Chain A
Amino acid sequence: MPGKLKAKIVAGRHLPVMDRASDLTDAFVEVKFGNTTFKTDVYPKSLNPQWNSEWFKFEVDDEDLQDEPLQITVLDHDTYSANDAIGKVYIDIDPLLCSEAATVISGWLPIYDTIHGIRGEINVLVKVDLFNDLNRFRQSSCGVKFFCTTSIPRCYRAIMVHGFVEELVVNEDPEYQWIDRIRTPRASNEARQRLIFLMSGELQRKIGLKVLEMGGNAVVGYLQCFDLEGESGLVVRAIGTACTLEKISSTLLATATHPSNSSPSKDMKEPGFGEEAPGVPLSSGPPTPLRAQTFSSFSPSKSYSRQSSSSDTELSLTPKTVGHLCHFCMIPPSPFCVFQEYPFFTLTAFPPGFLLHVGGVVSARSVKLLDRIHNPDEPETRDAWWEEIRQEIKSHAKALGCHAVVGYSESTSICEEVCILSASGTAAILSSRFMQDGPLDTEHRLSRQPLCVFSTGSERVEGDMGSSASQQGVFFLLISAPFVCDSLKCCSTHPSIIHFTPFSFFLCYFLFSLSLCCVVVCMYLSAGFVTACAHISMCVCSCLSVFVSECLSIYVCVCVCACVCVRSCVCVYVCPAPSVDYSSFADRCSSWIEQLKLKAHTIRRGSVKTTSSMEKASPLPEGRSRSLRSNRSYSGSSVAVVKMTPLSFIPGAKIIKYLGIINMFFIRETTSLREEGGVSGFLHTFIAEVFAMVRAHVAALGGNAVVSYSMKECVFMENPNKNQAQCLINVSGDAVMFVRESELESTSVQTQSATAHTSNGAEGT
């Protein structure tokens, strides 16, 4: 009995009218955790009930605490017929399990119904008493901290970076169960929402276990994804970087980022690349597809043994007997070991000097057919798929002469029976000084020059690039190109996989040439180094947001991801590169934002917008799957507002506490699409509601901002003839508490911290 969860229902407000006769509601609340349910009294005839309940106590295992959400259902009491549900609130209690995060969840949370949206608010208090459990064989991993931020969180110091962790959980999708034919859409949506909460809880717990095994205490750059495969199941998977973090007093932050940073080597820092860079942009020939992506067979490669020498490459598949069958890819703990099975880092920002050399972008892609899975409910098949991809990435990195991949991410895109898996990252050589053992120095042939490499998919053009283009200043750092099946729908019949791959290469090439164009433009403006990060976001975005830094310190463009992008196009973020003087970057950023504020309508949609040429390239039906973005908003008021930003920091403010990860999943369905203002109206409402719920949960944790916020995995289905639409959105981020920097910190600290953000800007896709 290692934990006691306590919940108290205080009051409700703005409830909907459930009884037409009296224009009032007789509301009561059900509080459910696991299989235990408590009820409050009925508070008759009020839209603002004051339940003021006792403390409901749940005595549970900490394993359940991690897996299960606290489920609060508000109902309208009805004497004669069944009680009507008003809506639900799911509370993830994970932040309460970590001593350094939030201690209590308290505040007004929106009551959400999958059909009607937000219906009033409820005031709750949730606490957890945790007893220490030192059982070696425990299945829980309470206390492991999770961060979406892809850099070492600002009030922590990394003692050790253990390396890549991944996990994957599969379950049957309730939407496709037989029972779905007879139950209401609401019931089915709720079953799905609950299942996904459960699965992501389980996933997080399992990742946590792995981290503990590796000796870490935190996961940084945690990236969780949902694959709605339809008939064959629902996959929740996550990757991250296991670390051992230590809380530090924030003033020491910049200098203490890494223990061995005591002798900072200027020559090794990223800006080193920039100095000689005002050269002509690269004009590389279009890469040609060399081979198909799909591996017909795959053998766990011992051939990489040179690079993976210090680690055990054995895959140990250990199905655990906890609820769902699961698969663990064991990575043995070793101190600051890059040389694991997969030397990948989901981080995008590193301590100065950590990156010795950057090779270029590596990405791999593979097309799979979902109806060919033999045992859909088992995770093995998917694991094997990802194995392939990761091995390919690793081999690409190796071909570039790099032994690690940073800024690594994985994504999928599913259309009917076709699933495209893709992974990408930036191949890099890490400084041996940060390694536990540094046998690699001798092996780096490429450590001489900043290298320009241009690599897509499985082509490797590093051979000639290394020689011919090495002096030139274009440098693609991280290009993530999650592909959309939608655009490929036209050719999605099974035999056409062969056509598929060239097409995706075409897209890829298109994308690269586009970003290259931008780079050319930027070159003229900045005469500096430019890091481009292009991102086809599901073929459906509408804005080209460009960060251009000019030497004259005029920022030509605005829009810090200001768009919920929906139309087809390419979204390109061009980020100022290391050579630009960064000391004032943060300042500029905020002055920028001031400008934005003044011309609020100017920022909308960004001031630079490309024509959506993708539209022509992909005759896709609009509005199938979309990637939705939140914008960063800044209000100058001092009211208790919750800010959201896709960046990992808040300009002009200091993050003083991380309160826990926000990871929520929402489903919204409507059967009155036209009445709600069509597709746009429906989505507008839904997104506004999602924001509201994220804000409310962050505020309840005691935070005032969400950093590294991202809204991903959006599935949208509509049926205008039936007047119906359904949308699924997953949001994640880190809830934080920040304080405004009233006085400027010393310049040195700022320079340091600003440098740390270099790649974060690019990451904000």
Chain B
Amino acid sequence: MSTELDVFVGNTTVLDEDVYQLWLDGHTVSDAVRIRMEAGALQECEANAEILHSDTMDQFRTFQMCERLLQSPSKVANQLLFQIPPHHQTMLIERYYEFDSVFAREVLGKKLSKGTKKDLDDISSKTGIALKCCRRQFDNFKHVFKVVEELKGPLVENIQRHFLLSDVLARDYAAIVFFANSRFETGKRKLQYLSFQDFAFCAGQLISYWTVGAVDNMMEDLNVDLEKEFLHDLKDLKVLVNDKDMLDQHKSLVCAQLRGKIKVFSEMEASFKNLSRALVNIASKLTHTKDFRDLFIDLVEKFVEPCRSDKWTIGDLRLFLKHYSSSVRMLEAFRHQVIWDRYMGVIQSCILKMYHD
């Protein structure tokens, strides 16, 4: 019996970015060869299909061997097994940790556990991303989560330091870790229109302003938990809707500011109390885990959807939120200005990000 033996090993590891991408995308060797041939690799290299096949094989094998190293990227630079030029090292790591936002959207908010891993074939068939590729991305999420879970200090920096990722990618990972940790509900049908980037933006806002680390970055443990004290203080905001005078005063202040400036003025005037009540209620209930997880669904159901049915434009909404949040300052009886600003700052930008079709 003769087995095929065909290996090419270089002193400096030869890598082809396109082949790497094919490998990352979870193609089999024969698929990859076909794709490369269609891309005209044969003409470019004056090679034949056989050479291309063994070349692809070799590269796939190399990547497979590198995979172990890529799981702890800090080792890539000082390992001795592969002599890889530095710019290639960065490329290898960055590409390995890149993910499809469609996939990330599916996994967002789910527990990064074995159970979810079993659902990957569903996600794979839904998104059209190869199962192998889904697994890699999922394992990366899980791996990053596990590593940063035990670290102190700012989340994004930790990810960057340990995984040597670019700033953008590290921020995306921070969002994933944050969602996995807080387990926000993102799967409801009403939330389907939101993309990963929308959520990542909101996560960034929440991390920057509401978490423990936002106040004190020397705290122990994962600092992506929201600050308990702050959530508790949010209950005080209830006065804004419970106190009738204050509500009326708030409404008239906002109306005075917006008169003639927005198209949907009458609708706004009519629904002001409902909208205000919705936002304040969301704030006051955030201490309960269940309500907290429903933050996004609540925002959509109670705020985004009413506005959308009244056909507010994004400009109208921006203006409204600006004055809605700022005119509170003029309410003399209101004493929770700091809490309010901290709350509304985040809510305002989240809503604006989420307000699209």
Decide if A633 touches B81 in the complex (CB within 8 Å).
Answer: no
Q: Is B51 an interface residue (CB 8 A)?
A: yes
Decide if A680 touches B4 in the complex (CB within 8 Å).
Answer: yes
Q: Is A439 an interface residue (CB 8 A)?
A: no
Please tell me which one of the listed residues A542, A600, A678, A720 contacts residue B16 in the complex, with CB atoms under 8 A apart: A600
Residues 633-673 of A, flagged 1 when their CB comes within 8 A of B and 0 if not, give 11111010111100000000000000000000000000000
Q: Is B85 an interface residue (CB 8 A)?
A: yes
Decide if B16 touches A635 in the complex (CB within 8 Å).
Answer: no
Q: In the complex, which residues 41-87 of chain B have their Cβ closer than 8 Å to any Cβ of chain A?
A: 41, 44-48, 51, 54-55, 57-58, 61-62, 64-65, 75, 78-83, 85-87
Q: Is B14 an interface residue (CB 8 A)?
A: yes
The CA of A14 and the CA of B78, in the complex, are separated in Å by 10
The CA of A677 and the CA of B65, in the complex, are separated in Å by 10
Residues of B within 8 A of A635 (CB): 12, 83, 85
- Interface on A for B, CB 8 Å cutoff? 13-14, 108, 110, 118, 121, 542, 562-564, 566-567, 599-602, 604-605, 607, 609, 621-623, 626, 630-637, 639, 641-644, 677-681, 683-685, 687-689, 691-692, 695-696, 718, 720
Q: Is B11 an interface residue (CB 8 A)?
A: yes
The CA of A599 and the CA of B57, in the complex, are separated in Å by 18
Show 9 residue pairs from A and B whose CB-CB distance is below 8 angstroms, ordered by the A residue. A108-B80, A567-B5, A600-B14, A601-B16, A643-B12, A679-B3, A688-B82, A692-B83, A720-B1
**Nearest CB on A from B22, distance (A):** 13
Decide if B80 touches A110 in the complex (CB within 8 Å).
Answer: yes
Q: Which residue of chain A has the shortest Cβ distance to B12 in the bound complex?
A: A633
Q: Is B334 an interface residue (CB 8 A)?
A: no
Residues of B within 8 A of A622 (CB): 2-5
Question: Taking A605-B51, A688-B82 as contacts, is the C-beta distance between A678 and B62 under 8 angstroms?
Answer: no
Please tell me which one of the listed residues B5, B19, B83 contacts residue A695 in the complex, with CB atoms under 8 A apart: B83
Decide if A599 touches B9 in the complex (CB within 8 Å).
Answer: no
The CA of A720 and the CA of B3, in the complex, are separated in Å by 9
Please tell me which one of the listed residues A13, A110, A562, A567 contacts residue B6 in the complex, with CB atoms under 8 A apart: A567
Decide if B61 touches A677 in the complex (CB within 8 Å).
Answer: yes
**Nearest CB on A from B55, distance (A):** 5
Q: Is B8 an interface residue (CB 8 A)?
A: yes
Decide if B82 touches A623 in the complex (CB within 8 Å).
Answer: no
Q: Is B7 an interface residue (CB 8 A)?
A: yes
Q: Which residue of chain A has the shortest Cβ distance to B46 in the bound complex?
A: A607
Decide if A601 touches B80 in the complex (CB within 8 Å).
Answer: no
Q: Which residue of chain A has the shortest Cβ distance to B77 in the bound complex?
A: A639
Q: Is B260 an interface residue (CB 8 A)?
A: no
Decide if B64 touches A718 in the complex (CB within 8 Å).
Answer: no
Residues of A within 8 A of B61 (CB): 677, 680-681, 684
Residues 1-44 of B, flagged 1 when their CB comes within 8 A of A and 0 if not, give 11111111111101110010000000000000000000001001
**Nearest CB on A from B348, distance (A):** 46
Question: Taking A118-B81, A604-B55, A688-B65 as contacts, is the C-beta distance between A633 and B10 under 8 angstroms?
Answer: yes
Question: Taking A14-B75, A642-B83, A695-B80 as contacts, is the C-beta distance between A630 and B5 under 8 angstroms?
Answer: no
**Nearest CB on A from B19, distance (A):** 8
Decide if A630 touches B51 in the complex (CB within 8 Å).
Answer: no
Residues of A within 8 A of B64 (CB): 677, 681
Decide if B14 touches A566 in the complex (CB within 8 Å).
Answer: no
Residues of A within 8 A of B7 (CB): 564, 566, 680, 683-684, 687
Q: Which residue of chain A has the shortest Cβ distance to B16 in the bound complex?
A: A601
Q: Which residue of chain B has the shortest Cβ distance to A619 in the bound complex?
A: B2
Q: Which 3 A-B pairs have the closest CB atoms?
A: A633-B12, A687-B9, A622-B2
Residues 124-168 of B, flagged 1 when their CB comes within 8 A of A and 0 if not, give 000000000000000000000000000000000000000000000
The CA of A689 and the CA of B55, in the complex, are separated in Å by 20
The CA of A342 and the CA of B74, in the complex, are separated in Å by 57
The CA of A125 and the CA of B65, in the complex, are separated in Å by 30
- Most chain B beta-carbon neighbours within 10 Å: one of A639, A643, A688: A688
Q: Which residue of chain B has the shortest Cβ distance to A641 in the bound complex?
A: B83
Residues of A within 8 A of B78 (CB): 13, 108
Residues of B within 8 A of A564 (CB): 7-9
Decide if A637 touches B14 in the complex (CB within 8 Å).
Answer: no
Decide if B8 touches A695 in the complex (CB within 8 Å).
Answer: no
The CA of A322 and the CA of B254, in the complex, are separated in Å by 104
